[in-house]
């Protein structure tokens, strides 16, 4: 029978891996939305509707 400390170590390692992967996915999604909207934002052609469309396309805003 495995020790309780061994189970906790596996659980903590698994939780940490999920935490890191989740952070990477959020960072990637945020950068995707920023790079999708930045060119239009810098030249002044990005209105509210265009930003929402880009965010929805990237999956950043639940619709």
pLDDT (tens digit per residue) in 19-38 = 999 999 999 888 888 887 77
Predicted local distance difference test score (pLDDT) of residue 17: 94
What angle do the packed helices 4-42 and 48-58 form, to 10 degrees? 150
Residue by residue, DSSP assigns 2-54 as: --HHHHHHHHHHHHHHHHHHHHHHHHHHHHHHHHHHHHHHHTT---HHHHHHH
Give the model's pLDDT for residue 2. Answer: 54
pLDDT at site 30: 86
Q: What does the pLDDT read at residue 14?
A: 92
pLDDT of residue 37: 74
Q: What is the pLDDT of residue 58?
A: 64
Q: How much of the chain, in percent, has pLDDT values that exceed 90? A: 22
């Amino acid at each position: 029978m495995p020790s309780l400390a061994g189970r906790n170590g596996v659980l903590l390692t698994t939780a940490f891996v999920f935490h890191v992967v989740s952070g990477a996915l959020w960072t990637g999604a945020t950068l995707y939305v920023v790079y999708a909207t930045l060119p239009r934002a810098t030249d002044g052609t990005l209105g509210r509707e265009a930003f929402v469309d880009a965010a929805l396309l990237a999956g950043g805003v639940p619709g």
